[in-house]
Structure 1
Amino acid sequence: MSRRKFLNTAGAGMAGILATGSAPAFAQGAPEVKWRCVSSFPKSLDTIFGAAEVMSKRIAAATNGKFQVQVFAAGEIVGGFQVLDAVQGGTVECGHTAPYYYVGKDPTFALGTAIPFGMNCRQFNAWWYVGGGDQVFNEFVNTYGVQSFLCGNTGAQMGGWYRKEIKTVADLKGLKLRIGGFAGQVLAKLGVVPQQIPGGEIYPALEKGTIDAAEWVGPYDDEKLGLNKIAKFYYYPGWWEGGPALHTFVNQKAWAALPKDYQAIFEAACHEGNTMMMARYDAGNPPALKKLVAGGTQLRGFPRPVMDACYLAALELYAETSAKNPAFKKVYEHYMKFLEDQVAWFRVCEGTYDNFMANRPKPGAAPAKKA
């Protein structure tokens, strides 16, 4: 379905709901469809898990209960890292996950979520919805028998919790850090020993000393995991996840069998889940960060030499991967071409505005004197 056709169809359907206060007429005689959606996340992470719930509730409301998608938390049907396999194999019709969990199958999956020094949330949305990102990424995931729909973003993440300060690149050598995907491979070039550990197992691993440091998401979710009780240094930014996107993977055969009207509502519901997740994080992170700092957490920015070294290591990894993986090369080049234009625009206006607001004068301060 073309983007314009989808927007027109979904928009008309939603307009009908709002105008009449009930489900559109087509739903009255529509078939009953029940799907199962497995999540990569536990219910305790209500913001990430909640995006799938937002999607599910909207689908039911928009079809007068005719189309229902029941969401299952990680571990209830399959483990958090088995969502793609479950959808691909037809165990369930759909799943809510982060594509970069599957870089072990193909590194191209990382481009569906986030790569080190990649797009922020707004840039990714623009690439996906308008810049052709959905088409080029779906060309890839279609080879796995699934169709992908954007359904969530955390925004730029934090750089994680560390027992010791990171002052130089040398401090990374031998560090056992909970991190996976491409970021883990980048940091491995600088001596880090990356550890792939599910969210629910991070706290005990850090507490027992199995790992030296851990990254997860940001203040709102990190506080829930209690990582501040074990490691006091909280670093930023998480340069490996400037705007990590979550997706709903749908089995292609199940999608093809779904009525067109239901397809339009499903895609619109994913869009709502995408918007709501980011809004919830933007609302929840500030108070959570204040609480962490008040409790003794020490904020630290990664030193510029460390950031520079990581950036150059990332470029080296992308070149190596592109040279041996045509699928990655195709999506990566499309992604980076769009990103370069975005960075240029943000440098002119968006970034300038944000920087001023972060350093604006305090109320009542005297205006700067003219030279």
Structure 2
Amino acid sequence: MPLKNLSYFLLFCAAFLISGCIEEETKTYSWKLQSHAVSTSLDYQELVVMTDNIRTMSGGRLDITPYPAGAVVSGPRIYEAVGDRTIEMGNGWPNWWSGQHPAWAVMNAGPFDFMNLDASMMFFIAGEGTALANELSEQKGIIWRPAWWPGMEFGLLSKKPIRGLLDLNEKRVRIGPGLPSEVLAAASGAYTIPLVPSEIRPALENDNLDAVEWTTTAGAWNLGLQDISRYAIVPAIWQPSVLADFLINKKAYAELPIDLQAILETAIKSYTLTTTMKAKKEDINALKLFKDNGTVFSQWSEEDLSRLREASDQILETYKAKDVFSRRLIEKKQAFKAEYNTYYEMFGPYEKQ
């Protein structure tokens, strides 16, 4: 081939490669993100901020639209919707996915699990937690990431006083599925019902529920439960360090160029820290709002705590017997908790003021 023709050929090849790279860089990826949260909640509002930031950082190349609770799918169906790519991302709670595998029921913080949210954060962010969760989720083509930590949940709100486990016998209680629900039912004799947010208030108003558990003080206040519930028993012993999670369709993630993957991962971590801290500050403010609103508070007795612990220990043994993975997950969490407790025996708070 003459030198001149060779030069033209090389220039053509270079132009072709450059145009391909430019096309890849300017391609837009449009995703749906279905949240468990109602549009007025802080964690949903922070999802809007997160997706706006992703759009900005990617120059519009990764365009994720968040949807509030129930807009596309709701509750436990979020998991399957991410798996079959009805949506590219979901945001919910690990125990909601217990219908997919029993170990999801113990992935979240059950009774007497991690009692402080920082222990749970360490286990999932710096420890083995996220890798273990992905062993489960990748079986259905899903990537798992921790979303944020509400920490200790609120407790039970009710129209009539509930002052202990005995008052819950044969009562209808809204609570999420999985280990927390099973332990509360076993310890109290209550009937547990896993309603999604849009169903909770109408059911309580119509006396189809006797008591409601819904996330933290801020979450309960934002759902308007204070308008119809004068009484609260706290705290939510069954979920002391609860965490929310993100589900990402694995094929959709793999289609993203590496820089967009990095932007997504960074935005998720920013959401985790910001939402966890802001939400806990809101919880402190919401507790004051409940008190100012005239909510009458009571707390679990030592006898109640003993019954809850006994029920928790028994049910955990049944989960260990269900399958090898559940046993391994429970034992990993218990081992980390022991290390955490040993450290804080020496380096924990030394005074209260």
TM-score normalized by the length of structure 2 = 0.87
Counterpart CA distance in 2 for 1:63 and 1:210 is 47
Whole-angstrom CA distance in 2 between matches of 1:248 and 1:51: 14
Deviation at 1:54, TM superposition (A): 3.4
Taking the aligned partners of 2:322 and 2:287, their CA distance within structure 1 comes to 42
Q: TM-score by structure 1 length? A: 0.83
User: Which of the pair has more CA radius of gyration?
Assistant: 2
Match of 1:170 among 166, 170, 179: 166
How far 1:275 moved relative to its partner?
0.9
After superposition, the CA RMSD in angstroms is 2.1
Match of 1:78 in 2: 73
Match of 2:5 in 1: none
Q: Within the alignment, does 1:187 sit opposite 2:184 as a pair?
A: yes
What is the distance in 2 between the residues matched to 1:55 and 1:339? 31
* Residue 139 (structure 1) shift: 0.9
Deviation of 1:213 (Å): 0.7
For residue 314 of structure 1, report the CA deviation from its aligned partner: 0.8
SS in 1 for 2:253: helix
Contact 1:52 1:96 survives alignment (8 Å): no
Q: Which residue of 2 aligns with 1:233?
A: 231
The alpha-carbon deviation at position 37 of structure 1 amounts to 1.1
Tell whether 2:69 aligns with 1:65.
Answer: no
Aligned residue type for 2:93? A
Gaps of 5+ in 1: 1-25, 361-371
Residue 168 (structure 1) shift: 4.6
Residue in 1 aligned with 2:221? 223
Aligned to 1:292: 290
Residue 167 of structure 1: how far off its partner (Å): 4.2
Q: Distance in 1 between matches of 2:53 and 2:37?
A: 20
Q: Is the 8 A contact 1:51 1:152 kept in 2?
A: no
Counterparts of 1:48 and 1:266, CA distance in 2: 17
Aligned to 1:145: 141
Counterpart secondary structure, 1:107: coil
CA distance in 1, matches of 2:77, 2:260: 26
Matched residue, 1:44? 40
Identical counterparts, % of pairs: 24
Task: Give 2:185's aligned amino acid.
Answer: A
Instruction: Report how many aligned residue pairs link the two structures.
Output: 329
Alignment correspondent of 2:6: none
SS of 1:70's partner is: strand
Could you give the per-residue CA deviations for residues 219-253 of structure 1, whole angstroms, max 9, x where no partner exists? 22212222223222222211122121111111111
Unaligned segments of structure 2, at least 5 residues = 1-21
Q: Give me the whole-angstrom Cα distance separating, in 2, the residues matched to 1:237 and 1:209.
A: 23
* Larger deviation, residues 228-237 vs 88-97: 228-237
Q: Which residue of 2 aligns with 1:314?
A: 312
Cα distance, 1:85 vs structure 2:
0.9
